[in-house]
Amino acid sequence: MKKLLNYFFQGLLVVVPIAVTIFVIYKIITWIDNLLPFQIPVKLPGIGEVSIPGLGILTIVVAVTAFGYLAKFFVANPFFVLLERMLERTPLLKIIYTSVKDLIEAFVGEKKRFNQPVLVTVDKVSGVQRIGFITQKDLSVLGISSNKMAVYLPFSYGFNGQLVIVPAENVEKIDASGTEMMKFVISGGVTEVD
């Protein structure tokens, strides 16, 4: 009976991560497909029209790539510059537009962030530390003393976190890539770091 229970648990270790990964990917694909205002049915002989998950993502990837190609030539275009200035000056739109733009640039832009992992001492008495990422080293434009910096602390098992301002002496650099550390934090510390 004990061997059967061990086989069951071994099977869980194999099946559950694969099943959850497939389920999450399927849900993400169908959610993104449903963002499109139209569906792309495919006609199969003898079956009729079939909706294939993923065609919406493919359409979005092609469209975004095409926009990126066009933007390469038209970013300096006066119309685009005027549109961007208008978005950045409209009160509510400014917050949304600039926040989303800065977040996307943090991951894929030239000014990549979340690439400098650090340990932040949260409580000196107990020695509790959290893994975070330096987002701003100089906060003098905010009127904050020069010995403090902005650190983003992601939460485990989620894609959210909090921004904290801490004294530089409470920040210790980690010799690892930002990607490895983000994966480590999001997994709750169970992911192996290479």
The CA-CA-CA angle for residues 55, 110, 183, to 5°, reads 65
Query: What is the token pair recorded at 190?
Result: 């169970």
Higher pLDDT, 112 or 17: 17
Would you say the C-alpha torsion 162, 163, 165, 170 has a positive or negative sign?
positive
pLDDT tier for residue 64 given thresholds of 50, 70 and 90? confident
Give the Cα separation of 88 and 139 in Å (integer): 22
* Confidence (pLDDT) at 66: 86
Instruction: Say if residue 12's pLDDT is above 70.
Output: yes
pLDDT tier for residue 97 given thresholds of 50, 70 and 90? confident
Question: Which residues, in sequence order, are bridge partners of residue 48?
Answer: 44
Arithmetic mean of pLDDT over the chain: 78
Span 115-169, pLDDT tens digits: 788 888 888 888 888 888 888 787 777 777 778 888 888 887 766 777 788 888 8
Higher pLDDT, 3 or 37: 3
3-state helix, strand, coil in the chain (%, to 5): 50, 20, 30
Higher pLDDT, 158 or 5: 5
pLDDT tier for residue 173 given thresholds of 50, 70 and 90? confident
Higher pLDDT, 187 or 22: 22
Instruction: Say if residue 82's pLDDT is above 70.
Output: yes
* Confidence (pLDDT) at 158: 67
Average pLDDT over residues 91-111: 73
Average pLDDT over residues 51-77: 76
- Percent of the chain residues topping a pLDDT of 90: 0
pTM for the predicted model, two decimal places? 0.53
**Within the chain, where are the H helices?**
2-35, 55-74, 78-89, 91-108, 178-186
